[in-house]
A and B are shown apart, each in its own frame.
Chain A
Amino acid sequence: MLEIKNLSKTYKKGNVKALDNVSLSINEGEFVALLGQNGAGKSTLINILAGNVTKDNGTVIVGDYNLDKNELETKKILGIVPQEITFDFVFSVGEILKNQSLYFGIKENQKYIDELLATLSLSEKKDAKSRGLSGGMKRRLLIAKALVHRPKLLILDEPTAGVDIELRRSLYDFLNQLHQQGTTIILTTHYLEEAEKLCDRIIIINEGKIIADDSKNKLMDTLGNEAMVELNFDNKKELSDFHFLTSYSPVMKNSKTLQMKASKQNIADIFYRISSNKVKFSNFKIEPQKLEDVFLTLINDESNK
């Protein structure tokens, strides 16, 4: 669905290298998270696809079309939800979507527009001007606008930034629904639990380079191998009571709780040592690493290189 080879972009202003030889391939039907810190290059990548930024080098193939040779054909395949909320303020919600359909060459699209408005709970606002909408409604309208031409590849640039939890959840459901219907989705987000929840594949970009690209599970297995082990006791304890666990660098979270990090393979060893030393605990918790931890580990590793 999307094939990017050796994509580079340097902004003349400030001589900033936003993308450095980026290559990636996204298959039809995938739900991919594109993660990175601010200024990592995510938006530049999306803006190149949208036509807002001209690339310096590299090849971009969308569907079967090369961006350099058949740019207009690629537009029909792509639906882009930008980060900034912007609308033609003189037009109503219904008119914005109708205009958008026309730009994509669709004359009769009212039925689908009504469907989209209903799904995104905007039907009542069909005749309202966009500037009178709430922040959440504007976000939903942006998504509806990107979908009017039924794109095969939907790219969402931080669609839930500044959106309340309830709306965020309804957007997750909607995106899942779209994905199940066969739409390929690329999502950039700062909410890593969002990526963890929705996406099958994670691509992490840092300083214009891809530093990780794998399925979510594989990434978590290889890089998220550590877990946080927490033991609770009925009586007060001292750190010295756990000398047999020194190799795991335990810490006392409070006087009755001990915490340590360990690889998944070593968890059994921790419990074996506790049992051998006849220490009784009242409760325990094993918390696997989150995508957030993996992300931070990767970013920090790259920064230290």
Chain B
Amino acid sequence: MKSNFLFYNPTGFFGLFKREVKRFMKVYIQTLLAPLLSNMLFLGVFGGMLKTRQVGIEGVDYLHFLVPGLSAMGAIFAGFQNPSFSIIVQKYSDTLKDLNSYPLSNFEKTLAFVLGGTVRGTLIGILTYIATIPFVGYSINNPLIFFGMLIVLSFIFSSLGVTVGLVLNNFEKMNFLLAIILTPLAYFGGVFFEVSQLPGILSKIIIANPLYPLINMVRFGYLGVHEGSIAIQSIFISIMSFITFFIAFLLLKKGVGLRN
């Protein structure tokens, strides 16, 4: 076991990360294909119905507008669900406490769970993009920002997933949280329409939605056009990445859901 300045047990960290990736790959129909299919249904239904109306950024075809939104939404949900589901399942099977007996630092454990979710979120985002190529073509304005933002988005929501998994102890509460908070935030965060097109005060309220700058940045990478200040949104995203990871790390360090 060779330690370095960041990792006490790099092999162990990699093992835990690998397990988190293998876990969702083993049930890929449920974890990858189902959300991909639902994204394609969104593309078919909304894209087909609204392609002639101006709901996206002016001058941009609605299908093109929708693709980055769906990729971002897929990454958000998959990133969140991977660690939260994994941790709660392990609570049910009483294997989560095994984590306490491994010679792994809290940073390594947190990062392994978060990166597992990041991989799944990014994969969904990329698969959504690939699946839309036959309908809208493959051109991306800035692939580095588009794919980079999918990774960052998945990282943030995977960190939130770790937090939720540690704090909650059953699927009912997790699904409730998903349905009552995350889904409305995503739907009103600019996945399906341009936020500034909303009437009056509603557009101002929705700009306060934390998902709005994240989805907007993914769209910026894909289309090259955006709403609001890129600089402010980048700073917000950086702070959000750090804070969400740090909260997950602190909870794990404190032993929430792990230690008596």
Closest Cβ of chain A to B118, distance in Å, is 19
* Contact assessment for A105 and B103 in the assembled complex, using a CB-CB cutoff below 8 Å: yes
Render A88-124 as a binary contact track against B, CB cut-off 8 A, 1 for contact.
1111000100010111111100000000000000000
Question: Could you say which of B10, B98, B260 contacts A47, with CB atoms under 8 Å apart?
Answer: B260
The yes or no answer to B207 lying at the interface (CB within 8 A) is: no
Query: B26 touching A106 by the CB < 8 A rule?
Result: no
- Which of B18, B93, B259 contacts A53 (CB under 8 A)? B259
A75/B103 contact (C-beta < 8 A), A53-B259, A103-B15 known: yes
Q: List residues of chain A with CB within 8 A of the CB of B94.
A: 84, 86
B93 near A88: Cβ-Cβ < 8 Å: yes
0/1 interface trace, chain B 1-45, chain A, CB 8 Å (1 if under): 100000011111011101100110011000000000000000000
A164 to B239: give the CA distance in the assembly, Å. 58
A73 contacts B103, C-beta separation under 8 Å: yes
Whether A50 is near chain B, meaning CB under 8 Å from some CB there, is: yes
Q: Find out whether the CB atom of A106 lies under 8 angstroms from the CB atom of B11.
A: yes
A-B contact count (CB 8 A): 81
> How does the 8 Å CB contact mask read for A143-156 relative to B, with 1 for contact and 0 for none?
00000000000000
Q: Is A80 an interface residue (CB 8 A)?
A: yes
> Which of B26, B27, B259 makes the CB contact (< 8 A) with A54?
B259
Check if B185 is an interface residue, CB within 8 A of chain A: no
Inter-chain contact A89/B93, CB cutoff 8 Å:
yes
Give A73's nearest chain B residue, CB to CB: B103
Is B203 in contact with chain A by the CB < 8 A criterion? no
Q: Is the CB of A90 within 8 A of B23?
A: yes
Q: A51-B259, A54-B255, A72-B8 are in contact. Are A103 and B104 (CB under 8 A)?
A: yes
CB distance A52 to B259 under 8 Å? yes
A51 touches B9 (CB 8 A): no
The answer to whether A11 has its CB under 8 Å from any CB of chain B is yes
The smallest beta-carbon distance between A246 and chain B, in angstroms, is 55
- In the complex, which residues of chain B have a beta carbon less than 8 angstroms from the beta carbon of A102? 11-12, 14-16, 18
Nearest chain B residue, comparing its CB with the CB of A9 = B260
Q: How many residues of B contact A (CB 8 A)?
A: 31
Q: How large is the interface on A (under 10, 10 to 19, 20 to 34, 35 or more residues)?
A: 20 to 34
Contacts A75-B103, A105-B12 known; A99 to B93 CB distance under 8 Å?
Answer: no
Q: Taking the complex as formed, is A172 at the interface, i.e. its CB lies under 8 A from any CB of chain B?
A: no
CB distance from B216 to the nearest CB of A (A): 37
Given contacts A89-B93, A103-B12, contact A80 B101 (CB under 8 A): yes
Chain A residue numbers with a CB within 8 Å of B9 are 72, 103-105
Minimum CB–CB distance from B34 to chain A (whole Å) comes to 17
A52 touches B100 (CB 8 A): yes
Given A86-B93, A90-B26, A105-B1, A50-B101 contact (CB < 8 Å): yes
Known: A104-B103, A105-B11. A86 touches B95 (CB 8 A): yes
Q: In the complex, are the beta carbons of A75 and B101 less than 8 A apart?
A: yes
Known A54-B255, A88-B95; judge A107-B101 contact (CB<8 A): no
Contact with A along B100-119 (1 / 0, CB 8 A): 11111100000000000000
A99 to B97, CA, bound (A): 15
Which B-chain residue is minimally distant from A72 (CB atoms)?
A: B103
Residue of chain A at shortest CB distance from B1? A105
**Is A233 an interface residue when CB atoms closer than 8 A count as contact?**
no
Cβ-based interface call for A78 (8 A): yes
List the 5 closest pairs (A to B, CB-CB), nearest first.
A102-B15, A105-B1, A51-B100, A75-B103, A103-B102
Contacts beyond the supplied A52-B260, A54-B255, A76-B103: 7 A-B pairs with Cβ under 8 Å:
A47-B260, A50-B100, A88-B90, A91-B19, A103-B12, A103-B15, A103-B16
Contact surface of A with B, Cβ cutoff 8 Å:
11, 47, 50-54, 72-73, 75-76, 78, 80, 84, 86-91, 95, 99, 101-107
Q: Chain B residues in contact with chain A, CB under 8 A? A: 1, 8-12, 14-16, 18-19, 22-23, 26-27, 90, 93-95, 97-98, 100-105, 255, 258-260
